[in-house]
Structure 1
């Protein structure tokens, strides 16, 4: 992640995870990776990063 100017962030990836937890244990239920539109709109960059 690079900060270009105050309040502006570039090259940021956000991972969202859902997990279940109880006294018996815990488990990862689901996950999703969110990428900036500038990444997903560039097919060469997606290919290089192995993003489908």
Structure 2
């Protein structure tokens, strides 16, 4: 199913504003999501690997 192309200036402005808001919302969440993914991976890795990371650091 194809999306209709915007035909009026108002539709184009709405698309640009929506993209801007999405960028403002998504970009700050990227480090949090990466930190969550790395934390989950480290948790499993530390539980599986004997003598894994030390927490003295």
Name the TM-score, length of structure 1 as normaliser. 0.22
Larger of the two Rg values belongs to structure: 2
| Higher RCO by CA contacts (8 Å cutoff, separation 6 or greater) | 1
Q: Which has the higher strand share?
A: 1
Question: TM-score, normalized by length of structure 2?
Answer: 0.22
